Structure 1
Amino acid sequence: MANVLQPGTGPINGDAYLPSTPDTVSWGLLPTAADRPVLTVDPGSTVCFDTVSHEGLLADQGGDPAAFFGAAGIAPGLLLADARDIGAALTHRPDRTGPHIVTGPVAVRGARPGDVLEVQVLGLLRRAPYGVISNRHGRGALAGEFPIPPHGWPDGQPVPTVSLVARVDDEGRGLLPTGDGRAVRFPLAPFLGIMGVATAGDRPHDSVPPGPHGGNLDIRMLTEGARLYLPVQADGALFYTGDPHFAQGDGEVSLTAFEAPLRATLRLTLHRDPAVRRLAAELALPYAETADAHLLLGLDPDLDTAVRQATRNAVTFLRARHGLPPAVALAYLSAACDVRISQVVDRVKGAHFVLPKADLADLGPGPAADGEAS
């Protein structure tokens, strides 16, 4: 059907195409240095990924996407074949892994630890006209208050997951039924919640908490045109992606946002020059930019600590890129920049400082930038 991008159909842009199949994904675990790539590309290559959302496939939703979405009125012809295949072929262990379906890893030739992998988001196409927003027992910003127990529910028993199926309306907006014949409509801004590189060693990491490897960053500003910079930890970088969203509010307070499948075209560029490697080492976390702003991240189980880390990294960035004295950088951040909450639901919470590029355009690299590219 015209509004469904099944695997291998419709516009596929890029030097390589990577569908999500049982052989090219992992369910709930992130790649490590010990994993074999499912695709290898040269630096600067563009890769088209078909990503699949985990929502609708999970055990607490019945483990049968046809039944789950059918109950919400989604016609069988609107189901994605790759979602059905993954759900049928792979066994998910929610007690041991995260929920996300992760596509990859993709090796970038020549990437070595200490390099920086730039991921440029060239295109994001909706693969289906629907998705899911869920709230689960013990999760989300209001854990213990939501989900609301059904009338007569036994005390102390896990409350059933609430999964609401949202749609895309004819004007390209999100449509969330209220249950009484009305609907909330909101703008869409697709992005990939998970983009990351393999961790060093061979110890598996579940897909929920983000970290220096990137992973489940859930930064809603990483839409088309954005660039994410990931410090490489393993040979080949071993890039992966997943957790596609049609929209998300800062915080993602329910636990998930408008989770829905995307076809993503990404350019993978390798940076090896000393200035970029030095900046990445100082920040010790990914960083990003949009057309209008630089994004400096903070990640920690404690949100206050995450905000402090984002603030330190913003000060470090302003010194390294533009030669601002730290006291001046901190004053500028306080006077003119926003610190935003990425998410508060992934065990490791996220914050990011937003530095408007227009404010910095006249500064140049500055005397302390030591040749850093802008």
Structure 2
Amino acid sequence: MASRSALLILGLCLLANGISGRRLSQMEAMDQCAAPSNGAMKSLKADSTTAVWGYFYQGIEPAMVASSGDEIMVEMITHHAGDDYEKMIAGDPGVEDIYRWTPEEQTMAMRGAKGAGEGVHILTGPIYVCDAEPGDVLQIDILDLAPRKNPSTGKTYGSNAAAGWGYQFRAGFLDDDKREVITIYEVVEEDDEMYVVPDYAFRFAGGPTGYPGPTTPCATLNGSMPRTVAGENVEWSAEERIYSSTNVPCDDGNQTWAGYYYPGVITQHPTGTEDMSIKGKFKVPANLHIGNIGLSPAWDEAVNSIPPLPTGGNMDNKRVGAGSTLYLPVQVAGALLSMGDAHTAQGDSELDGTGVETSINGKFKLTLHKAGALPKFVANLTHPLIETPTEWVVQGYTYADFLNEIPEDPQNQIFALSSIDKAMVVAYNETRDWMMQSFDMTEDQAITAITIACDFGITQVVDGNFGVHALIPKKVFKMAE
């Protein structure tokens, strides 16, 4: 974990020197690439001009241009900041800008691939990587991650939402009282160690008070996707007001939300209904990581940010943290790297639906590996690969490439078709193939090595494309050298 002073410096650098204000045209990106930066330090601040809400799309103009060898600092804003406005939004200008939603204006009106919450994550980017082409591999070294402190309080808070997509809604509740419960955590430092501690909890809606849920101005009905490349106009419409398969009507200029149907709602609850009894029950060592980091897929439409992709995206693997390296296959020119959904803590499975969703600032180094000269361990790479100081992590999903494998309506069908059994098959096949390629093994040799040396784990069971990963210890191969 980085020292306290290093984390402070990281946060200050981003606040002072970040790029924001507008996106670059494709022509401007190409012009910048003509004079490569060759190892420069760049930073990208997060606000409504440098982020998208809930989707990947290859037709978005880049927020920044970077070259292989550059180090970049990127701000990532949590899509759950609305769970406590005073602690996670108020006083932070970039976050206030992203969440601004009044009767007159929704600063970021297109939320989700079709504008009605089909994707929830606030993703900073995309970052155009010079010379990146389909078939290349982008290496992303995660140099540092730091909790984003609210400038007005000097504190960082996060939210764990035990939401309707959590596995507890599949497994069942003891009293059959299905409920969405939000726990607000504070990030604290003690003796140069970082922890998350529960502050209080509350129900999103329902409960003994019969609270119907938070009320907002009516969400924008339609519009054009912001910041698309010149000459392209992508219209979106949410005229039916169907959000997460639920109709939420507009009455007298307001909508009342009985559940997490639409991202960015500012939650409220009746005064005095907070459950303070959780305070002091436990203290969890922080494990800062990025839940959603990926490249744009080669797909003609905007892609929901929730189901993970062969190009990365919403992996929710807690090992994507400082000191790790991520390798992603490039599918489109410029790679178009975006990131968000950062967590200060999460266990494997992300069982209740989220981690401790927290705004975080990160520092990264980019290295582009060209298709004609790929290192052996990323040759033929078709899935995300994570490298930690001690392990290789192969990431599998129910569908390795759901967009191309599900024949009809893949972005909706993936949520009904997810299976841990299928994810295990994909993770095994990818692990076997990767070990055969990387270590010159036969299939039988890979099978026995996997069985006696590797661990498989459930990455997540909440993202519409369930994840299973394999942990391959480096030392078993170093010992054989």
TM-score (norm 1): 0.83
The residue aligned with 1:28 is: 54
In the TM superposition, residue 9 of structure 1 has moved relative to its aligned partner by 3.1
The question of whether the paired residues in 2 share the 8 Å contact of 1:6 and 1:81 is answered with no
The residue aligned with 1:18 is: 44
Aligned pair partner of 1:235 in 328, 333, 338: 333
In the TM superposition, residue 126 of structure 1 has moved relative to its aligned partner by 1.0
The residue aligned with 1:81 is: 93
The residue aligned with 1:326 is: 443
* Secondary structure, aligned partner of 1:312: helix
Aligned residues: 340
* Secondary structure, aligned partner of 2:81: coil
Pair 161,6 (structure 1): closer, same or farther in 2 beyond 3 Å: farther
The question of whether the paired residues in 1 share the 8 Å contact of 2:119 and 2:304 is answered with yes
Aligned pair partner of 1:210 in 276, 301, 308: 308
Measured in 2, the distance between the counterparts of 1:164 and 1:131 equals 9
In the TM superposition, residue 194 of structure 1 has moved relative to its aligned partner by 1.0
* Secondary structure, aligned partner of 1:329: helix
The residue aligned with 1:55 is: 80
Deviations 1:203-240 (A, max 9, x none): 10111000112100111011111111110000010111
Measured in 1, the distance between the counterparts of 2:125 and 2:175 equals 37
Pair 105,146 (structure 1): closer, same or farther in 2 beyond 3 Å: farther
2:165 is the counterpart of 1:114: no
Where structure 2 has 5 or more consecutive residues not aligned to the other structure, the ranges are 19-38, 101-106, 150-155, 201-275, 399-417
TM-score (norm 2): 0.66
Deviations 1:16-72 (A, max 9, x none): 11011111100111132x221111111111110011001033xxx5xxxxxx343xx
In the TM superposition, residue 176 of structure 1 has moved relative to its aligned partner by 1.5
The question of whether the paired residues in 1 share the 8 Å contact of 2:167 and 2:462 is answered with yes
The residue aligned with 1:284 is: 382
2:123 is the counterpart of 1:102: yes
In the TM superposition, residue 177 of structure 1 has moved relative to its aligned partner by 4.2
Identity of aligned residues (%): 27
Pairwise mapping of residues 154-165 of structure 1 onto structure 2 (< 5 A)?
A: 161-165=180-184
* Secondary structure, aligned partner of 1:311: helix
Q: Which moved more, 1:335-344 or 1:9-18?
A: 9-18
Deviations 1:67-125 (A, max 9, x none): x343xxx3987x43211110012125463421110000001110100000011101101
Aligned pair partner of 2:433 in 291, 316, 341: 316
In the TM superposition, residue 202 of structure 1 has moved relative to its aligned partner by 2.9
In the TM superposition, residue 201 of structure 1 has moved relative to its aligned partner by 3.5
* Secondary structure, aligned partner of 1:183: coil
2:175 is the counterpart of 1:175: no
Measured in 2, the distance between the counterparts of 1:22 and 1:238 equals 18
The question of whether the paired residues in 1 share the 8 Å contact of 2:436 and 2:442 is answered with yes
In the TM superposition, residue 161 of structure 1 has moved relative to its aligned partner by 3.5
* Secondary structure, aligned partner of 1:91: coil
The residue aligned with 1:166 is: 185
In the TM superposition, residue 188 of structure 1 has moved relative to its aligned partner by 0.5
In the TM superposition, residue 160 of structure 1 has moved relative to its aligned partner by 6.0
Measured in 1, the distance between the counterparts of 2:57 and 2:181 equals 30
Pair 75,288 (structure 1): closer, same or farther in 2 beyond 3 Å: closer
The residue aligned with 1:272 is: 370
Measured in 1, the distance between the counterparts of 2:199 and 2:73 equals 32
What is the letter of the counterpart of residue 37 of structure 1? Answer: P
Measured in 2, the distance between the counterparts of 1:91 and 1:160 equals 28
Measured in 1, the distance between the counterparts of 2:17 and 2:373 equals 38
In the TM superposition, residue 313 of structure 1 has moved relative to its aligned partner by 1.5
Deviations 1:252-304 (A, max 9, x none): 00100111011101111100154638865644211111111111111112111
What is the letter of the counterpart of residue 81 of structure 2? Answer: G
* Secondary structure, aligned partner of 1:50: strand
Measured in 2, the distance between the counterparts of 1:207 and 1:340 equals 23
2:159 is the counterpart of 1:132: yes
What is the letter of the counterpart of residue 163 of structure 1? Answer: I
What is the letter of the counterpart of residue 218 of structure 1? Answer: D
The residue aligned with 1:90 is: 108
| Structure exhibiting the larger radius of gyration computed from Cα positions | 2
